[in-house]
A and B are shown apart, each in its own frame.
Chain A
Protein backbone atom coordinates (compact mmCIF):
# COMPACT_ATOMS: atom_id res chain seq x y z
CA UNK A 1 0.00 0.00 0.00
CA UNK A 2 2.11 2.86 -1.28
CA UNK A 3 2.58 5.00 -4.36
CA UNK A 4 5.59 5.47 -6.64
CA UNK A 5 6.63 8.48 -4.56
CA UNK A 6 6.20 6.85 -1.14
CA UNK A 7 7.60 3.87 0.69
CA UNK A 8 5.91 1.82 3.37
CA UNK A 9 7.49 1.76 6.81
CA UNK A 10 4.79 -0.36 8.43
CA UNK A 11 1.28 -1.66 7.80
CA UNK A 12 -1.40 -3.14 10.02
CA UNK A 13 -5.05 -4.07 10.07
CA UNK A 14 -7.53 -4.82 12.81
CA UNK A 15 -9.12 -8.29 12.62
CA UNK A 16 -12.68 -7.82 11.32
CA UNK A 17 -15.22 -8.62 13.97
CA UNK A 18 -12.79 -8.45 16.88
CA UNK A 19 -13.85 -5.76 19.36
CA UNK A 20 -11.09 -3.16 19.88
CA UNK A 21 -10.02 -2.38 23.44
CA UNK A 22 -12.14 0.36 25.08
CA UNK A 23 -10.69 3.83 24.71
CA UNK A 24 -10.95 5.95 27.87
CA UNK A 25 -12.87 9.17 27.29
CA UNK A 26 -14.81 7.86 24.31
CA UNK A 27 -18.24 6.26 24.44
CA UNK A 28 -21.23 5.16 22.39
CA UNK A 29 -19.30 3.97 19.34
CA UNK A 30 -16.69 1.43 18.23
CA UNK A 31 -15.27 3.90 15.70
CA UNK A 32 -12.77 5.72 17.89
CA UNK A 33 -11.45 2.61 19.69
CA UNK A 34 -11.06 1.00 16.28
CA UNK A 35 -9.03 3.91 14.92
CA UNK A 36 -6.85 4.02 18.03
CA UNK A 37 -6.26 0.26 17.99
CA UNK A 38 -5.16 -0.01 14.37
CA UNK A 39 -3.04 3.14 14.69
CA UNK A 40 -1.34 1.69 17.76
CA UNK A 41 -0.61 -1.54 15.95
CA UNK A 42 0.88 0.23 12.91
CA UNK A 43 2.93 2.72 14.92
CA UNK A 44 4.28 -0.05 17.15
CA UNK A 45 5.34 -1.93 14.01
CA UNK A 46 6.98 1.17 12.58
CA UNK A 47 8.42 2.94 15.61
CA UNK A 48 8.50 0.35 18.39
CA UNK A 49 7.66 2.46 21.42
CA UNK A 50 6.44 6.05 21.83
CA UNK A 51 9.40 8.33 22.32
CA UNK A 52 10.72 11.66 21.09
CA UNK A 53 8.44 13.90 19.01
CA UNK A 54 8.26 12.98 15.35
CA UNK A 55 7.04 15.09 12.41
CA UNK A 56 4.45 12.49 11.49
CA UNK A 57 1.11 13.50 10.00
CA UNK A 58 -2.12 11.69 10.82
CA UNK A 59 -4.58 11.13 8.01
CA UNK A 60 -7.88 9.41 8.77
CA UNK A 61 -10.02 8.29 5.83
CA UNK A 62 -13.52 7.01 6.43
CA UNK A 63 -16.32 6.92 3.88
CA UNK A 64 -19.00 6.30 6.48
CA UNK A 65 -17.47 8.18 9.38
CA UNK A 66 -18.43 7.63 12.99
CA UNK A 67 -22.03 6.70 12.35
CA UNK A 68 -22.76 5.50 15.87
CA UNK A 69 -21.64 8.80 17.41
CA UNK A 70 -23.54 10.82 14.81
CA UNK A 71 -26.67 8.81 15.55
CA UNK A 72 -26.16 9.16 19.30
CA UNK A 73 -25.84 12.96 18.91
CA UNK A 74 -28.98 13.23 16.80
CA UNK A 75 -30.90 11.01 19.24
CA UNK A 76 -29.69 12.91 22.29
CA UNK A 77 -30.48 16.29 20.69
CA UNK A 78 -34.07 15.18 20.23
CA UNK A 79 -34.26 13.94 23.81
CA UNK A 80 -33.64 15.50 27.16
CA UNK A 81 -29.95 15.06 27.84
CA UNK A 82 -26.80 15.26 25.70
CA UNK A 83 -23.89 13.27 27.21
CA UNK A 84 -20.96 15.74 27.40
CA UNK A 85 -18.50 13.16 26.07
CA UNK A 86 -20.27 13.24 22.72
CA UNK A 87 -19.00 16.80 22.27
CA UNK A 88 -15.42 15.60 22.35
CA UNK A 89 -16.00 12.87 19.78
CA UNK A 90 -18.36 14.87 17.55
CA UNK A 91 -15.67 14.99 14.88
CA UNK A 92 -13.02 12.53 13.71
CA UNK A 93 -10.07 14.69 14.75
CA UNK A 94 -10.49 13.92 18.44
CA UNK A 95 -9.23 10.34 18.34
CA UNK A 96 -6.31 11.50 16.20
CA UNK A 97 -5.43 13.82 19.06
CA UNK A 98 -5.27 10.81 21.34
CA UNK A 99 -2.92 8.98 18.97
CA UNK A 100 -0.78 12.07 18.39
CA UNK A 101 -0.47 12.74 22.10
CA UNK A 102 0.48 9.18 22.99
CA UNK A 103 3.08 8.90 20.22
CA UNK A 104 4.17 12.57 20.17
CA UNK A 105 3.33 13.02 16.51
CA UNK A 106 3.52 16.71 15.59
CA UNK A 107 2.64 16.71 11.90
CA UNK A 108 -0.62 17.86 10.28
CA UNK A 109 -3.87 16.27 11.47
CA UNK A 110 -6.23 15.55 8.58
CA UNK A 111 -9.56 13.74 8.20
CA UNK A 112 -11.26 12.97 4.89
CA UNK A 113 -14.34 11.13 3.71
CA UNK A 114 -13.71 9.29 0.44
CA UNK A 115 -16.75 8.44 -1.67
CA UNK A 116 -16.22 4.70 -1.34
CA UNK A 117 -14.86 2.58 1.48
CA UNK A 118 -11.52 0.92 0.89
CA UNK A 119 -11.29 -2.79 0.23
CA UNK A 120 -10.97 -4.73 3.51
CA UNK A 121 -7.42 -4.54 4.86
CA UNK A 122 -6.48 -1.63 2.61
CA UNK A 123 -6.55 2.17 2.71
CA UNK A 124 -8.31 4.13 -0.05
CA UNK A 125 -6.22 5.17 -3.07
CA UNK A 126 -7.26 8.79 -2.55
CA UNK A 127 -5.80 8.72 0.96
CA UNK A 128 -2.50 7.44 -0.44
CA UNK A 129 -2.49 10.28 -2.97
CA UNK A 130 -3.12 12.80 -0.23
CA UNK A 131 -0.37 11.28 1.91
CA UNK A 132 2.00 11.72 -1.00
CA UNK A 133 0.95 15.35 -1.31
CA UNK A 134 1.45 15.93 2.43
CA UNK A 135 4.93 14.45 2.30
CA UNK A 136 5.86 16.54 -0.74
CA UNK A 137 4.44 19.67 0.89
CA UNK A 138 7.02 19.50 3.63
CA UNK A 139 5.23 19.76 6.98
CA UNK A 140 5.64 16.04 7.72
CA UNK A 141 8.42 13.45 7.43
CA UNK A 142 6.01 10.50 7.68
CA UNK A 143 2.25 10.07 7.31
CA UNK A 144 0.18 7.53 9.21
CA UNK A 145 -2.81 6.77 7.00
CA UNK A 146 -5.72 5.14 8.80
CA UNK A 147 -8.80 3.75 7.07
CA UNK A 148 -11.75 2.87 9.29
CA UNK A 149 -15.27 1.86 8.40
CA UNK A 150 -17.93 1.15 10.93
CA UNK A 151 -20.45 -1.55 10.14
CA UNK A 152 -23.75 -0.16 8.94
CA UNK A 153 -26.65 -0.66 11.34
CA UNK A 154 -28.13 -3.24 8.97
CA UNK A 155 -24.81 -5.11 9.06
CA UNK A 156 -25.10 -5.62 5.30
CA UNK A 157 -21.57 -4.31 4.92
CA UNK A 158 -20.10 -6.81 7.34
CA UNK A 159 -18.17 -6.05 10.50
CA UNK A 160 -16.09 -2.98 11.37
CA UNK A 161 -12.97 -2.68 9.21
CA UNK A 162 -9.71 -0.84 9.88
CA UNK A 163 -6.28 -0.73 8.29
CA UNK A 164 -3.30 1.58 8.61
CA UNK A 165 -0.06 2.25 6.81
CA UNK A 166 2.91 4.37 7.84
CA UNK A 167 4.49 6.09 4.85
CA UNK A 168 7.62 8.08 4.08
CA UNK A 169 8.70 9.81 0.91
CA UNK A 170 10.49 7.49 -1.47
CA UNK A 171 14.21 8.07 -1.82
CA UNK A 172 14.85 10.45 -4.68
CA UNK A 173 17.02 8.91 -7.38
CA UNK A 174 20.07 10.99 -8.18
CA UNK A 175 20.21 11.99 -11.80
CA UNK A 176 23.43 11.18 -13.60
CA UNK A 177 24.74 12.77 -16.71
Chain B
Protein backbone atom coordinates (compact mmCIF):
# COMPACT_ATOMS: atom_id res chain seq x y z
CA UNK B 1 0.00 0.00 0.00
CA UNK B 2 1.06 3.55 -0.51
CA UNK B 3 2.26 5.57 2.41
CA UNK B 4 0.75 8.69 0.91
CA UNK B 5 -0.06 11.27 3.52
CA UNK B 6 -3.76 12.11 3.86
CA UNK B 7 -4.46 15.75 3.15
CA UNK B 8 -4.76 18.06 6.16
CA UNK B 9 -7.29 20.14 4.24
CA UNK B 10 -9.52 19.04 1.41
CA UNK B 11 -8.78 20.52 -2.00
CA UNK B 12 -11.72 21.44 -4.17
CA UNK B 13 -12.06 23.11 -7.56
CA UNK B 14 -13.82 26.45 -7.49
CA UNK B 15 -13.00 27.80 -10.93
CA UNK B 16 -12.37 26.42 -14.40
CA UNK B 17 -11.34 28.05 -17.66
CA UNK B 18 -10.98 26.15 -20.93
CA UNK B 19 -9.94 26.85 -24.48
CA UNK B 20 -9.94 23.76 -26.72
CA UNK B 21 -10.30 22.95 -30.40
CA UNK B 22 -14.04 23.34 -29.80
CA UNK B 23 -13.64 26.94 -28.69
CA UNK B 24 -13.80 28.80 -25.40
CA UNK B 25 -15.49 27.43 -22.31
CA UNK B 26 -16.19 23.98 -20.92
CA UNK B 27 -19.65 23.61 -22.52
CA UNK B 28 -18.62 22.98 -26.17
CA UNK B 29 -15.88 20.61 -24.99
CA UNK B 30 -18.33 18.71 -22.80
CA UNK B 31 -20.85 18.46 -25.63
CA UNK B 32 -18.21 17.12 -28.03
CA UNK B 33 -16.80 14.53 -25.61
CA UNK B 34 -20.26 13.34 -24.54
CA UNK B 35 -21.19 12.81 -28.20
CA UNK B 36 -17.84 11.32 -29.24
CA UNK B 37 -17.51 13.91 -31.96
CA UNK B 38 -14.67 13.59 -34.46
CA UNK B 39 -15.30 17.12 -35.70
CA UNK B 40 -12.34 18.51 -33.76
CA UNK B 41 -9.80 16.86 -36.03
CA UNK B 42 -8.92 18.29 -39.41
CA UNK B 43 -6.07 18.67 -41.86
CA UNK B 44 -3.47 21.03 -40.42
CA UNK B 45 -3.24 24.34 -42.25
CA UNK B 46 -1.48 26.35 -39.54
CA UNK B 47 1.90 25.30 -40.96
CA UNK B 48 3.21 23.12 -43.76
CA UNK B 49 2.60 19.42 -43.14
CA UNK B 50 3.09 18.27 -46.72
CA UNK B 51 6.23 16.29 -45.76
CA UNK B 52 4.64 14.61 -42.74
CA UNK B 53 3.22 11.11 -42.64
CA UNK B 54 0.28 12.33 -40.55
CA UNK B 55 -1.38 15.64 -41.33
CA UNK B 56 -4.28 15.91 -38.89
CA UNK B 57 -4.71 17.49 -35.45
CA UNK B 58 -7.41 19.09 -33.29
CA UNK B 59 -6.66 22.76 -33.70
CA UNK B 60 -8.31 26.09 -33.06
CA UNK B 61 -9.00 27.95 -36.28
CA UNK B 62 -7.43 31.19 -35.18
CA UNK B 63 -5.74 30.82 -31.80
CA UNK B 64 -4.42 33.73 -29.78
CA UNK B 65 -0.73 33.70 -28.85
CA UNK B 66 0.02 31.04 -26.24
CA UNK B 67 0.42 33.40 -23.29
CA UNK B 68 -2.84 35.17 -24.18
CA UNK B 69 -4.62 31.81 -24.50
CA UNK B 70 -3.41 30.75 -21.05
CA UNK B 71 -4.31 34.10 -19.52
CA UNK B 72 -7.80 33.88 -21.01
CA UNK B 73 -8.33 30.54 -19.29
CA UNK B 74 -6.87 31.88 -16.04
CA UNK B 75 -9.17 34.92 -16.18
CA UNK B 76 -12.22 32.69 -16.72
CA UNK B 77 -11.24 30.39 -13.84
CA UNK B 78 -10.62 33.31 -11.50
CA UNK B 79 -13.90 34.96 -12.45
CA UNK B 80 -15.91 31.79 -11.89
CA UNK B 81 -14.22 31.27 -8.55
CA UNK B 82 -14.56 34.90 -7.52
CA UNK B 83 -10.94 34.49 -6.54
CA UNK B 84 -9.47 36.82 -3.94
CA UNK B 85 -6.10 38.28 -4.89
CA UNK B 86 -2.70 36.92 -4.00
CA UNK B 87 -2.98 33.29 -5.09
CA UNK B 88 0.13 31.74 -6.65
CA UNK B 89 0.01 30.33 -10.18
CA UNK B 90 1.56 27.01 -11.18
CA UNK B 91 2.04 26.87 -14.94
CA UNK B 92 2.67 23.93 -17.29
CA UNK B 93 4.34 24.62 -20.65
CA UNK B 94 6.36 22.77 -23.25
CA UNK B 95 10.12 23.18 -22.80
CA UNK B 96 11.50 24.97 -25.82
CA UNK B 97 13.27 28.17 -26.81
CA UNK B 98 10.19 30.27 -25.93
CA UNK B 99 9.28 28.79 -22.54
CA UNK B 100 10.79 31.58 -20.45
CA UNK B 101 9.35 34.28 -22.66
CA UNK B 102 5.84 32.81 -22.50
CA UNK B 103 6.11 32.28 -18.73
CA UNK B 104 7.17 35.91 -18.28
CA UNK B 105 4.19 37.10 -20.34
CA UNK B 106 1.84 34.92 -18.30
CA UNK B 107 3.40 36.21 -15.07
CA UNK B 108 2.81 39.79 -16.16
CA UNK B 109 -0.79 39.10 -17.10
CA UNK B 110 -1.39 37.08 -13.95
CA UNK B 111 -0.23 39.98 -11.81
CA UNK B 112 -2.75 42.18 -13.60
CA UNK B 113 -5.43 39.64 -12.64
CA UNK B 114 -4.45 39.98 -8.98
CA UNK B 115 -2.43 36.77 -8.73
CA UNK B 116 0.92 36.57 -7.03
CA UNK B 117 2.64 35.78 -10.32
CA UNK B 118 3.95 32.49 -11.67
CA UNK B 119 5.37 30.50 -8.79
CA UNK B 120 6.68 27.61 -10.84
CA UNK B 121 6.81 26.39 -14.44
CA UNK B 122 6.38 22.65 -15.04
CA UNK B 123 7.85 21.22 -18.22
CA UNK B 124 7.49 17.49 -17.57
CA UNK B 125 5.76 16.53 -20.79
CA UNK B 126 2.35 14.88 -20.62
CA UNK B 127 2.17 14.79 -16.82
CA UNK B 128 3.29 18.41 -16.37
CA UNK B 129 -0.18 19.77 -15.63
CA UNK B 130 -1.24 16.84 -13.43
CA UNK B 131 1.97 17.23 -11.46
CA UNK B 132 1.12 20.88 -10.96
CA UNK B 133 -2.40 19.96 -9.79
CA UNK B 134 -0.98 17.43 -7.33
CA UNK B 135 1.44 20.03 -6.00
CA UNK B 136 -1.37 22.57 -5.72
CA UNK B 137 -3.38 20.03 -3.76
CA UNK B 138 -0.40 19.35 -1.50
CA UNK B 139 0.07 23.08 -0.94
CA UNK B 140 -3.62 23.57 -0.15
CA UNK B 141 -3.89 20.35 1.82
CA UNK B 142 -0.93 21.20 4.02
CA UNK B 143 -2.29 24.67 4.73
CA UNK B 144 0.51 26.54 2.99
CA UNK B 145 -1.93 28.34 0.68
CA UNK B 146 -5.73 28.59 0.87
CA UNK B 147 -5.93 28.58 -2.93
CA UNK B 148 -3.61 27.96 -5.88
CA UNK B 149 -4.28 28.51 -9.57
CA UNK B 150 -2.99 25.88 -11.99
CA UNK B 151 -2.80 26.69 -15.69
CA UNK B 152 -1.40 24.99 -18.76
CA UNK B 153 -1.14 25.75 -22.42
CA UNK B 154 -0.13 23.96 -25.57
CA UNK B 155 -0.73 25.18 -29.10
CA UNK B 156 0.50 22.77 -31.77
CA UNK B 157 3.63 24.05 -33.47
CA UNK B 158 5.61 22.77 -36.45
CA UNK B 159 8.64 21.56 -34.47
CA UNK B 160 6.75 19.32 -32.03
CA UNK B 161 4.46 18.11 -34.81
CA UNK B 162 7.43 17.13 -36.99
CA UNK B 163 9.25 15.47 -34.08
CA UNK B 164 6.20 13.39 -33.13
CA UNK B 165 5.68 12.50 -36.77
CA UNK B 166 9.32 11.43 -37.19
CA UNK B 167 9.09 9.39 -34.00
CA UNK B 168 6.08 7.54 -35.47
CA UNK B 169 3.97 8.64 -32.52
CA UNK B 170 1.18 10.08 -34.69
CA UNK B 171 -1.67 7.95 -36.03
CA UNK B 172 -0.84 6.94 -39.59
CA UNK B 173 -4.52 6.78 -40.54
CA UNK B 174 -5.25 10.21 -39.12
CA UNK B 175 -7.59 8.90 -36.39
CA UNK B 176 -6.93 8.64 -32.67
CA UNK B 177 -8.37 5.26 -31.65
CA UNK B 178 -7.62 4.61 -27.96
CA UNK B 179 -7.70 0.95 -26.92
CA UNK B 180 -9.14 -0.05 -30.32
CA UNK B 181 -7.90 -2.69 -32.69
CA UNK B 182 -5.96 -1.05 -35.46
CA UNK B 183 -4.83 1.91 -33.36
CA UNK B 184 -1.63 3.40 -34.72
CA UNK B 185 -0.80 6.43 -32.62
CA UNK B 186 -1.99 9.75 -31.31
CA UNK B 187 -3.06 13.11 -32.74
CA UNK B 188 -2.07 16.42 -31.25
CA UNK B 189 -4.48 19.09 -30.02
CA UNK B 190 -4.57 22.69 -28.84
CA UNK B 191 -5.54 23.57 -25.28
CA UNK B 192 -5.25 26.27 -22.68
CA UNK B 193 -6.83 25.40 -19.35
CA UNK B 194 -6.86 26.77 -15.81
CA UNK B 195 -8.34 25.59 -12.53
CA UNK B 196 -8.57 27.14 -9.10
CA UNK B 197 -7.63 24.63 -6.40
CA UNK B 198 -8.90 25.76 -3.02
CA UNK B 199 -9.20 24.40 0.49
CA UNK B 200 -12.84 23.44 1.09
CA UNK B 201 -12.83 25.45 4.30
CA UNK B 202 -11.61 28.55 2.46
CA UNK B 203 -14.25 28.08 -0.23
CA UNK B 204 -16.97 27.59 2.39
CA UNK B 205 -15.85 30.71 4.23
CA UNK B 206 -16.35 32.67 1.00
CA UNK B 207 -19.70 31.03 0.39
CA UNK B 208 -18.44 29.45 -2.83
CA UNK B 209 -19.88 26.12 -3.99
CA UNK B 210 -17.13 23.89 -5.41
CA UNK B 211 -17.36 22.46 -8.92
CA UNK B 212 -15.86 19.18 -7.70
CA UNK B 213 -13.45 17.81 -5.12
CA UNK B 214 -9.93 16.53 -5.72
CA UNK B 215 -10.32 13.51 -3.49
CA UNK B 216 -6.92 12.00 -4.18
CA UNK B 217 -3.80 12.14 -6.28
CA UNK B 218 -0.89 9.83 -6.90
CA UNK B 219 2.40 9.90 -8.79
CA UNK B 220 4.89 7.24 -9.73
CA UNK B 221 7.70 6.35 -12.10
CA UNK B 222 8.00 3.22 -14.23
CA UNK B 223 11.80 2.93 -13.86
CA UNK B 224 11.73 1.23 -17.24
CA UNK B 225 12.73 3.29 -20.30
CA UNK B 226 13.30 6.77 -21.68
CA UNK B 227 10.00 6.79 -23.54
CA UNK B 228 8.33 3.37 -23.59
CA UNK B 229 5.83 2.48 -20.86
CA UNK B 230 6.45 -0.44 -18.57
CA UNK B 231 4.51 -3.23 -20.34
CA UNK B 232 2.81 -4.60 -17.22
CA UNK B 233 1.51 -1.17 -16.20
CA UNK B 234 2.87 -1.54 -12.66
CA UNK B 235 3.86 2.14 -12.49
CA UNK B 236 0.42 3.35 -13.54
CA UNK B 237 -1.14 0.95 -11.03
CA UNK B 238 0.97 2.42 -8.21
CA UNK B 239 -0.11 5.95 -9.08
CA UNK B 240 -3.78 4.89 -9.07
CA UNK B 241 -3.42 3.06 -5.76
CA UNK B 242 -1.73 6.07 -4.22
CA UNK B 243 -4.62 8.31 -5.30
CA UNK B 244 -7.21 5.86 -3.96
CA UNK B 245 -5.35 5.40 -0.66
CA UNK B 246 -4.99 9.13 -0.15
CA UNK B 247 -8.71 9.58 -0.71
CA UNK B 248 -9.67 6.56 1.38
CA UNK B 249 -11.69 5.31 -1.60
CA UNK B 250 -11.86 1.61 -2.48
CA UNK B 251 -11.56 0.60 -6.14
CA UNK B 252 -15.28 -0.21 -6.06
CA UNK B 253 -15.94 3.47 -5.33
CA UNK B 254 -14.69 4.60 -8.75
CA UNK B 255 -17.49 5.14 -11.28
CA UNK B 256 -15.56 6.21 -14.39
CA UNK B 257 -11.97 6.40 -15.68
CA UNK B 258 -10.79 9.04 -18.14
CA UNK B 259 -7.75 7.08 -19.24
CA UNK B 260 -4.51 8.41 -20.65
CA UNK B 261 -5.32 6.42 -23.82
CA UNK B 262 -3.08 8.10 -26.37
CA UNK B 263 -3.87 5.61 -29.11
CA UNK B 264 -0.36 4.16 -28.90
CA UNK B 265 -0.40 0.36 -29.30
CA UNK B 266 2.03 -0.21 -26.41
CA UNK B 267 0.93 2.53 -24.03
CA UNK B 268 -2.79 1.73 -24.22
CA UNK B 269 -2.14 -1.94 -23.53
CA UNK B 270 0.08 -1.16 -20.53
CA UNK B 271 -2.61 1.15 -19.14
CA UNK B 272 -5.31 -1.50 -19.59
CA UNK B 273 -3.13 -3.98 -17.70
CA UNK B 274 -2.66 -1.43 -14.92
CA UNK B 275 -6.41 -0.99 -14.59
CA UNK B 276 -6.90 -4.77 -14.50
CA UNK B 277 -4.25 -4.97 -11.78
CA UNK B 278 -6.00 -2.38 -9.61
CA UNK B 279 -9.68 -3.18 -10.27
CA UNK B 280 -9.56 -6.92 -10.97
CA UNK B 281 -12.87 -8.39 -12.11
CA UNK B 282 -14.66 -5.16 -11.21
CA UNK B 283 -13.00 -3.61 -14.26
CA UNK B 284 -15.51 -5.42 -16.44
CA UNK B 285 -18.26 -3.10 -15.21
CA UNK B 286 -16.22 0.09 -14.91
CA UNK B 287 -16.77 2.57 -17.76
CA UNK B 288 -13.48 3.71 -19.33
CA UNK B 289 -12.73 6.09 -22.17
CA UNK B 290 -10.00 8.39 -23.35
CA UNK B 291 -11.31 11.85 -24.13
CA UNK B 292 -8.14 12.43 -26.22
CA UNK B 293 -10.07 10.61 -28.94
CA UNK B 294 -12.20 13.75 -29.23
CA UNK B 295 -9.94 16.70 -28.31
CA UNK B 296 -6.51 15.32 -29.20
CA UNK B 297 -3.34 15.11 -27.17
CA UNK B 298 -2.46 18.50 -25.72
CA UNK B 299 0.88 17.32 -24.25
CA UNK B 300 1.82 19.57 -21.30
CA UNK B 301 -1.79 20.81 -21.11
CA UNK B 302 -3.37 17.38 -21.65
CA UNK B 303 -3.86 16.47 -18.00
CA UNK B 304 -5.63 19.73 -17.23
CA UNK B 305 -7.82 19.48 -20.34
CA UNK B 306 -8.80 15.93 -19.38
CA UNK B 307 -9.40 17.00 -15.80
CA UNK B 308 -11.81 19.62 -17.14
CA UNK B 309 -13.61 16.92 -19.16
CA UNK B 310 -13.78 14.68 -16.10
CA UNK B 311 -15.19 17.43 -13.90
CA UNK B 312 -17.77 18.08 -16.63
CA UNK B 313 -18.74 14.40 -16.76
CA UNK B 314 -19.38 14.32 -13.00
CA UNK B 315 -21.45 17.47 -13.31
CA UNK B 316 -23.60 16.33 -16.23
CA UNK B 317 -23.68 12.58 -15.62
CA UNK B 318 -22.79 12.05 -19.30
CA UNK B 319 -19.67 9.94 -19.81
CA UNK B 320 -17.13 10.96 -22.48
CA UNK B 321 -17.20 8.66 -25.49
CA UNK B 322 -14.12 6.72 -26.58
CA UNK B 323 -14.24 7.78 -30.23
CA UNK B 324 -12.44 6.25 -33.20
CA UNK B 325 -13.35 2.69 -32.26
CA UNK B 326 -12.86 0.02 -34.92
CA UNK B 327 -13.25 -3.12 -32.84
CA UNK B 328 -11.97 -4.87 -29.74
CA UNK B 329 -8.33 -5.54 -29.03
CA UNK B 330 -8.59 -8.89 -27.22
CA UNK B 331 -5.66 -8.01 -24.95
CA UNK B 332 -7.28 -4.78 -23.71
CA UNK B 333 -10.53 -5.99 -22.15
CA UNK B 334 -12.08 -2.72 -21.01
CA UNK B 335 -15.72 -1.62 -20.71
CA UNK B 336 -15.22 1.25 -23.13
CA UNK B 337 -17.80 4.01 -23.51
CA UNK B 338 -18.48 3.57 -27.23
CA UNK B 339 -21.68 5.58 -27.55
CA UNK B 340 -23.45 8.29 -25.60
CA UNK B 341 -23.98 7.00 -22.09
CA UNK B 342 -25.70 8.50 -19.08
CA UNK B 343 -25.68 5.90 -16.29
CA UNK B 344 -28.88 5.51 -14.27
CA UNK B 345 -26.84 6.19 -11.16
CA UNK B 346 -24.86 9.37 -11.82
CA UNK B 347 -21.10 8.95 -11.48
CA UNK B 348 -19.78 10.38 -8.23
CA UNK B 349 -16.09 9.59 -8.41
CA UNK B 350 -13.77 9.46 -11.44
CA UNK B 351 -10.10 8.94 -12.19
CA UNK B 352 -8.18 11.02 -14.70
CA UNK B 353 -4.91 9.33 -15.67
CA UNK B 354 -1.83 10.54 -17.48
CA UNK B 355 1.54 9.10 -18.39
CA UNK B 356 4.58 10.61 -20.02
CA UNK B 357 8.07 10.08 -21.32
CA UNK B 358 10.48 9.05 -18.65
CA UNK B 359 7.91 6.62 -17.25
CA UNK B 360 6.07 9.34 -15.32
CA UNK B 361 2.53 8.49 -14.21
CA UNK B 362 -0.14 10.55 -12.48
CA UNK B 363 -3.62 9.77 -11.20
CA UNK B 364 -6.15 12.41 -10.16
CA UNK B 365 -9.25 11.19 -8.33
CA UNK B 366 -12.11 13.64 -8.76
CA UNK B 367 -15.32 13.45 -6.75
CA UNK B 368 -18.61 15.24 -7.22
CA UNK B 369 -18.97 18.24 -4.94
Contact = CB atoms under 8 A, between A and B. Distances in A.
Interface of A: 25, 53, 57-58, 62-67, 70-71, 73-74, 76-78, 80-84, 86-98, 100-101, 103-115, 126, 130, 133, 136-139
Interface stretch (B92-100, B195-203, B257-265): B92-100
B226 A88 contact: yes
A139 B4 CA distance: 6
A130 B128 CA distance: 14
B288 interface: no
B131 A108 contact: yes
B68 interface: no
A97 B220 CA distance: 12
Of A58, A67, A83, A112, chain B has the most CB atoms within 10 Å of the CB of A112
A87 B166 contact: yes
Contact of B124 (A70, A74, A111): A111
Interface string B241-254: 01000100000000
B121 interface: yes
Contacts of A109: 124, 127, 219, 221, 356, 358-360
Given A101-B224, A106-B221, A130-B120, 20 more contacts: A25-B226, A74-B97, A77-B161, A80-B51, A87-B167, A90-B167, A91-B123, A91-B124, A92-B123, A97-B358, A97-B360, A100-B223, A103-B223, A108-B220, A108-B221, A109-B219, A113-B99, A136-B5, A137-B138, A138-B5
Interface of B: 2-5, 51, 93-97, 99-100, 103-104, 118, 120-125, 127-128, 131, 134-135, 138-139, 142, 158-169, 218-227, 235, 238, 242, 246, 356-360
Given A76-B162, A109-B356, A138 B135 contact: no
A158 B235 CA distance: 39
A124 B121 CA distance: 13
A138 B222 contact: no
Contacts of A114: 120-121
B121 A112 contact: yes
Contacts, number: 198
B231 to A, nearest CB: 13
The 4 A-B residue pairs with the shortest CB-CB distance in the complex, in nearest-first order: A87-B167, A93-B358, A97-B358, A109-B360
B118 to A, nearest CB: 8
Contacts of A58: 221, 358
Contacts of B246: 138
A138 B4 contact: yes
Contact of B96 (A25, A70, A86, A137): A70
A84 B3 CA distance: 40
Given A87-B166, A93-B125, A130-B120, A100 B222 contact: yes
A32 to B, nearest CB: 9
B2 A139 contact: yes
B359 A101 contact: yes
Contact of A91 (B3, B95, B100): B95
B158 A77 contact: yes
Contact of A97 (B135, B159, B168, B225): B225
Contacts of A74: 96-97, 159
A137 B358 contact: no
A76 to B, nearest CB: 7
B215 to A, nearest CB: 15
Contact of B162 (A77, A89, A108, A112): A77
A71 B98 CA distance: 11
15 contacts: A57-B221, A62-B95, A73-B160, A74-B97, A76-B159, A77-B163, A87-B163, A91-B124, A108-B220, A113-B122, A115-B104, A136-B5, A137-B135, A138-B5, A139-B4
B358 A88 contact: no
A106 to B, nearest CB: 5
